[in-house]
Structure 1
Amino acid sequence: MPPFAYSNQARDLLDVLIRAGLIVVLVLFCFEIFRPFLNLMLWSVILAVTLYPLHRRVRARLGGHDGWSATLLVLVAVVVLLVPLTLLGASLVESVEKSVGLVRSSDFRVPPPAASLAGWPLYDTWLQASTDLTGAMQRFAPQIKAALLLALGSLAGLGIGLLIFIVALIIAGIFMAYGELGNRSAVDIASRLSGPEKGPQIAQLCTATIRAVAMGVVGIAFIQMLLVGVALVIKGVPGAGLLALAVLLLGIMQLPATLITIPVIIYVFSTEGFGTVPMMFAIYVFIAGLADNVLKPLLLGRGVNVPMPVVLIGALGGMVTNGVIGLFIGPVVLAVGYQLFWQWVRDQPQPAGPDH
């Protein structure tokens, strides 16, 4: 090969490497700038995709005005969410204050453990707490402090998560106002990545997965939390806010809410007897705890079939990496990735037939 030909090939290769390096640097800089808003934008897109069918119905009633429809939908959603969430938040703060006040009071006593529990790992600690609570608390002061800091951090995370959710809902309203343009952009991006034939299918698959998981998992858990939590607050059950939060977590992790509602019913009966009001409360709470069995076939069955372990891993992994926000975003993002992976696996090229 002539020397000048080799030189031209090396120069072309160097040009390609420099361009690729500049593109990588530009992408990394853009990601670093966008990273603080990543969770917010993900949540906004999830909300916009989930609520867009409802937006289209409202738009049809308002004469085709996208802006008015999106604004009305966001305002109604904020009002509907803030009222019960405010009640649950106030109950949560009250429960924490009562717990702290009870521990600080001189009347607080820890009952001694039964003799049959002797030999259990925590028997000695329990026995010391029943006889000398102050000494036991001083002994485990570092662990108690760490637990309190974790609880306070979780409460702060809930408040920040609620604020981010409201902001994401407003941004989702803007996305819905430009929904047609956003849909075309999504199809164009998917077509650029997967080809013009598969692009619309990939975009439709992502949309169906987001709606299925957001409505069938996160949405149902949120609705169930409101149904159970508001009843607990109205009834005055101690720790109603914490119990409602536990219902939400169990719903996202696909565990039955009866793990919370049945002990609450037992507590109400043990303290108030079997009167008319406790009986009506028990019936309502028990039915509300089983509401997911009715809502799942209606909501989750309309989308795609996502295995529950994928949802559970997404919820736990999202909560570990991004806190409360990740608890909601994790299942949706992981489900989309799961569906795209299996779509890629199934789209294998067909083997060529035998020559005739």
Structure 2
Amino acid sequence: MPLTPITQRVLSRQLLDVLIRAGLIAVLAIFCFRIFVPFLNLMVWALILAITLYPLQVRLRGPLGDRDGLIASLIILLAFAVILVPTYLLGVAVANSLERAMAIFRSGSFQIPPPAESVAAWPLVGQRVHDFWAQASTDLTGLVHRFAPQLKEAGLALLGTVTGLGAGLLIFFVALIVAGILMAHGEKGYASAKQIASRISGPESGPQIADLCTSTIRAVAQGVVGIAFIQMLLIGIAFIVMGIPGAGLLALAVLLIGIMQLPATLITVPVIIFVLVTEGVSAATVIFSVYVFVAGLADNVLKPLLLGRGVAVPMPVVLIGALGGMVTGGVIGLFIGPVVLAVGYQLFWRWVRDQPQPEPAQEQRRR
């Protein structure tokens, strides 16, 4: 049946109204995103910290009562102390060590002992290491001038890394404050999250998706911190037994590097080189070097064991999400990746299981 001209004009007007409204909503969404995007990383970190620390607030409600604001403030102050004190001690120790090293280098009293003849017998790289080491022990100034451009580039890269770490630490502290505010209104926030999830995926799936996101973030956070703490113990004990200068501060550095998802070999390899240079090659130094190097790689074994605990999806999903998210999005991607992959995994299998039921044979015969 053909449409009358009046009906066509009504439908055209309705379609135009829908397009105009959709365009205005899109413009509003774009402007809101552009205004909010400078604070996106900050708010994501705050949400991750609030979800991770909220179980501690729930446990403290018994001894301290239901004063959520006070409990959240105490937790944030404790977190500041736990992070600031080791960071300050580590920074002071590094600054003092650099100052002493520069003073020794300028005085001309710094000398590198010559290599043992056994170094040349090392497989593949022994002769090169022996020649380089021998030149460093006899003509260190000439060696520094030889590699001056490379040293300058490495120094600039190190300065940029330190600057980035400082900015990241500042953002982390501000995120802690915002996380305290979110934890003080945790119950309302959780109810709002369930409402949003229910509005997107339906009233049946919404609460389950909200709980899945929460458990995934907590599992990843606890796994990351737990793995970093285990590595700190494994490596720190070896440093103390070997008598490494500043062993405690180096162990704290391993903890911080592990939390930032950087390899512990950034600490262990220089320490191994220092021990081999100062103590020489012996059974004790070889055992120490092998143990510390393996302990620095222990996170590759522990991550598959700890990251997926307490999550209603298979462990490989969380592990792949964490690794892929870290590669694509850095430290924040370490948390966002598993959440996105876990939610996608659940929705996919829910869609697979929600298949139309076959009609009974009687209904088919009636037709």
TM-score normalised by L of structure 1: 0.75
Q: CA deviation at 1:163?
A: 2.0
1:309–1:241 Cα change, 3 Å:
farther
Is 1:149 aligned to 2:151, yes or no? no
Q: Map 1:2-21 to 2 at 5 A.
A: 2-21=4-23
Distance 2:15 2:182 in 1: 42
Distance 1:27 1:191 in 2: 21
Distance 2:266 2:198 in 1: 46
State the partner residue of 2:348: 345
Q: CA-to-partner distance for each residue in 1:218-266, whole Å, 9 max, x for gaps?
A: x224434765788769966369767754565457659788993996599
Which amino acid in 2 is paired with 1:153? G
Are the counterparts in 1 of residues 326 and 334 from structure 2 also a CA contact under 8 Å? Answer: yes
State the partner residue of 1:308: 319
Are the counterparts in 1 of residues 90 and 252 from structure 2 also a CA contact under 8 Å? Answer: yes
Distance 2:270 2:44 in 1: 36
Distance 1:156 1:240 in 2: 24
Distance 2:326 2:217 in 1: 14
- Count the aligned residue pairs: 340
- How much is the aligned-residue C-alpha RMSD, in angstroms? 4.7
Distance 1:149 1:256 in 2: 22
Q: CA-to-partner distance for each residue in 1:183-203, whole Å, 9 max, x for gaps?
A: 100000000000111110010
Distance 2:68 2:146 in 1: 62
Which amino acid in 1 is paired with 2:34? E
1:32–1:197 Cα change, 3 Å:
same
State the partner residue of 1:277: none
- Percent of residue pairs bearing the same amino acid type: 45
Distance 1:21 1:225 in 2: 53
Identify which of 213, 220, 226 aligns with 1:220.
Answer: 226
Q: CA deviation at 1:23?
A: 1.4
The secondary structure found in structure 2 opposite 1:347 is helix
State the partner residue of 2:71: 69
The secondary structure found in structure 1 opposite 2:309 is helix
Q: CA-to-partner distance for each residue in 1:300-345, whole Å, 9 max, x for gaps?
A: 62345354343223233333xxxxxxx2x22111110110110111
Are the counterparts in 2 of residues 315 and 330 from structure 1 also a CA contact under 8 Å? Answer: yes
1:262–1:92 Cα change, 3 Å:
closer
Distance 1:117 1:223 in 2: 34
Which amino acid in 2 is paired with 1:314? G
1:119–1:299 Cα change, 3 Å:
closer
Distance 2:276 2:139 in 1: 31
Q: Identify which range, 109-118 or 330-339, moves more after superposition.
A: 109-118
Are the counterparts in 2 of residues 252 and 315 from structure 1 also a CA contact under 8 Å? Answer: no
Distance 1:291 1:59 in 2: 37
The secondary structure found in structure 1 opposite 2:355 is coil
Are the counterparts in 2 of residues 58 and 69 from structure 1 also a CA contact under 8 Å? Answer: yes
State the partner residue of 1:52: 54
Q: CA deviation at 1:61?
A: 1.2
Q: CA deviation at 1:177?
A: 0.7
1:126–1:297 Cα change, 3 Å:
closer
1:79–1:12 Cα change, 3 Å:
same
Are the counterparts in 1 of residues 318 and 341 from structure 2 also a CA contact under 8 Å? Answer: no
TM-score normalised by L of structure 2: 0.73
Which amino acid in 2 is paired with 1:56? V
1:118–1:343 Cα change, 3 Å:
closer
Distance 1:242 1:150 in 2: 21
Distance 1:345 1:256 in 2: 37
Q: Map 1:174-213 to 2 at 5 A.
A: 174-213=181-220
Distance 2:145 2:302 in 1: 49
Identify which of 32, 35, 50 aligns with 2:34.
Answer: 32
1:314–1:126 Cα change, 3 Å:
farther
The secondary structure found in structure 2 opposite 1:196 is coil
Distance 1:249 1:72 in 2: 26
State the partner residue of 1:86: 88
Q: Identify which range, 109-118 or 85-94, moves more after superposition.
A: 109-118
Which amino acid in 2 is paired with 1:159? G
Identify which of 328, 333, 356 aligns with 1:317.
Answer: 328
Unaligned runs of 5+ in 1: 275-280, 320-326
State the partner residue of 1:330: 333
